Structure 1
Amino acid sequence: MVQQPKLDYSVIWVNRMADIPQSAWDDLAQPLKTPFLEWDWLNNIETSGSATAKTGWLPNHLTVWRDRQLIAAAPMYVKGHSYGEFVFDQQWADLSYRLGISYYPKLLGMTPFTPAVGYRFLMAPGEDEDELTQIMVSAIDHFCDRNHLSGCHFLFVDPDWRPVIERNGFKGWLHHSYIWQNQGFSSFEDYLKVFNANQRR
């Protein structure tokens, strides 16, 4: 009988940021360019009551551990609607309904209420990104199947991470959005000065 090699990691789904050690999470998140994946930001969204089951954002964060060390993580939410995502997929939901397919609930990877590019799986330096991504995608597939979710969506992903997740079976879709970029304004009043009186009304 051939024995399978013993896995040196464990996958754990966590329902609250408060149940994940802040320092362990931030060791993965803080090297990134965005603050919106850091423990404080995500925990505050939950503890404020903004991202809860009651508001339709049920936290289910994916974590991967080796022994007692967090080596990978992803903030994830089970959604029963598309509100607060800043991506309007109601047409997909409507088409699914017409075809008799449930679109909700779905699993979503993004920072709630934050239309800022930069979402990605968090990984410890030196870990094999492809291997951990495969482990996490497999865990997501099992989670969706076990909980009868229609699928998993990632929004506002880091452009550098997009090819990684696409290699693992996810497909990107094109949508339009408008993103304001600061052209050197030091304050909102400074910004308003570029408009004439009629434009400022």
Structure 2
Amino acid sequence: MQLKAIPAIDEIAAARWNALEGADNPFLRHEFLSTLEAHGAVGEAHGWIPHHLLLEDGDTLLAAAPAYLKLNSWGEFVFDFAWAHAYERNGMDYYPKLVVAVPFSPVNGPRMLLNGDHPAGALRQALADGAREMAAQMGISSVHWLFTRRADQAALQASGYAHRYGCQYHWRNAGYADFDAFLAGLSSKKRKNIRRERRQVTDQGIELQTLHGDEIDARQWDALHAFYVDTFRAHGNLPVISRDCFEALGRRLGDRLVAFVAHHGQAPVAGAICLRSDDTLYGRYWGAAADYDGLHFEACYYQGIDYCIRHGIDRYEPGAQGEHKIPRGFLPVITHSAHALLDERFQVAVDDFLARERPAVEDYARQLTREAPYRAEVMERLPHD
């Protein structure tokens, strides 16, 4: 087996990449990664230099991972700025670092894409060990695997990576027949609040439309991209995804991209863009032309919950952060990442920090779970990670 890196996803055929187990995740599809590269959303200008990992045996592709040489820590959502500052104070370079992740997307999922005809354990170990060896040969500071799933995380820890916790808020489907059945499982106060917020939207004359990527026309893409740009700039962030990149993602991903578009009369006034796999809906981008009462909650939360119920989707990950999601049906979930710093002194310091951070994150999640809006019998039958 040999591990190598390629500087562009298009250096490997889409059919070979997409045939690997895990590539059914929309963020790991060749089409998604290729579109970001083709439209300049990733690249040196934004500090995400493609460096995708391929594990091969002759002409056989055994495994792969979406990887980037990072020149900064923006767009990762696993914050290591303090580690970078510590390197700088000691006269060392933290950047570039090697990051295995989905650019600008705090989405959980497989990070090791595997050939199903070969033993998964050996392939995962080869990727975990090989990435760190590659970083050492390149003389860079560290390797980071972000928002990993359980099997990948176990292999990384077995290879000596440090384990970091984070916390997000996810909705889980308890087999609801419809949105009203979901509401029936909430406490009376929370149920009334959600109904009031939804009425606010309709009382303002706003209607919501659900569209998949290949159903969105040029005028709607213009509006959705403008909303996205306004939201990012309002929060001091750089909107790196172009309007044409949005449209290309819709065309190439088709029904894997879902948009909830709000209209007032004939004009689109807000929208939320999601991606979906067979079992998970992922909320990504939101924006509005003006402030409308309750519209953010409707477009970003309630439309997504309703979509999951109608389509039999198990989980809704609406994005990072936001304790305000809890009274609206989302519960705390521990997320995972793995980190190898090649300077042993810094690795020891990070290990010590993470050993203290993990129980604090667990305690935070437990406290917030106590505030869950569900009736006790519903909490007992909700799926748990």
C-alpha spacing 1:31/1:56, structure 2 compared with 1 (3 Å): closer
C-alpha spacing 1:164/1:137, structure 2 compared with 1 (3 Å): closer
Is contact 2:16-2:61 (8 Å) kept?
yes
RMSD value over aligned CA atoms?
2.7
> Partner of 1:4 in structure 2?
none
Aligned identity (percent) is 28
C-alpha spacing 1:38/1:98, structure 2 compared with 1 (3 Å): same
Provide the C-alpha distance between the structure 1 equivalents of 2:22 and 2:164, rounded to a whole number of angstroms. 28
The answer as to 2:152 corresponding to 1:58 is no
Is contact 2:22-2:114 (8 Å) kept?
no
Is contact 1:57-1:79 (8 Å) kept?
yes
C-alpha spacing 1:100/1:69, structure 2 compared with 1 (3 Å): same
> Partner of 2:89 in structure 1?
98
The answer as to 2:25 corresponding to 1:38 is no
Alignment of 1:33-182 (within 5 A): 34-176=25-167, 178-181=168-171
C-alpha spacing 1:104/1:194, structure 2 compared with 1 (3 Å): farther
SS, match of residue 70 in structure 1: strand
Structure possessing the higher radius of gyration over alpha carbons: 2
Provide the C-alpha distance between the structure 1 equivalents of 2:127 and 2:152, rounded to a whole number of angstroms. 14
Deviates more, 1:133-142 or 1:57-66: 133-142
Which TM-score applies when normalising by structure 2?
0.44
> Partner of 2:20 in structure 1?
28
Which TM-score applies when normalising by structure 1?
0.81
Counterpart of 2:10 (choices 18, 39, 49) is: 18
Query: Per chain length, whose mean CA-contact separation is higher, i.e. which structure has more relative contact order (CA < 8 Å, sep 6+)?
Result: 2
Is contact 2:63-2:123 (8 Å) kept?
yes
Provide the C-alpha distance between the structure 1 equivalents of 2:145 and 2:130, rounded to a whole number of angstroms. 15
Provide the C-alpha distance between the structure 1 equivalents of 2:63 and 2:47, rounded to a whole number of angstroms. 25
Provide the C-alpha distance between the structure 2 equivalents of 1:87 and 1:154, rounded to a whole number of angstroms. 10
Q: Which amino acid aligns with 1:54?
A: A
- Number of residue-to-residue matches in the alignment: 187
Is contact 1:109-1:119 (8 Å) kept?
no
Deviates more, 1:145-154 or 1:17-26: 145-154
Is contact 2:124-2:152 (8 Å) kept?
no
C-alpha spacing 1:148/1:193, structure 2 compared with 1 (3 Å): farther
Q: Which amino acid aligns with 1:12?
A: K
Deviates more, 1:166-175 or 1:124-133: 124-133
Q: CA deviation at 1:37?
A: 1.1
Provide the C-alpha distance between the structure 2 equivalents of 1:73 and 1:50, rounded to a whole number of angstroms. 21
Provide the C-alpha distance between the structure 2 equivalents of 1:31 and 1:18, rounded to a whole number of angstroms. 15
Q: CA deviation at 1:157?
A: 0.7
Q: Which amino acid aligns with 1:27?
A: A
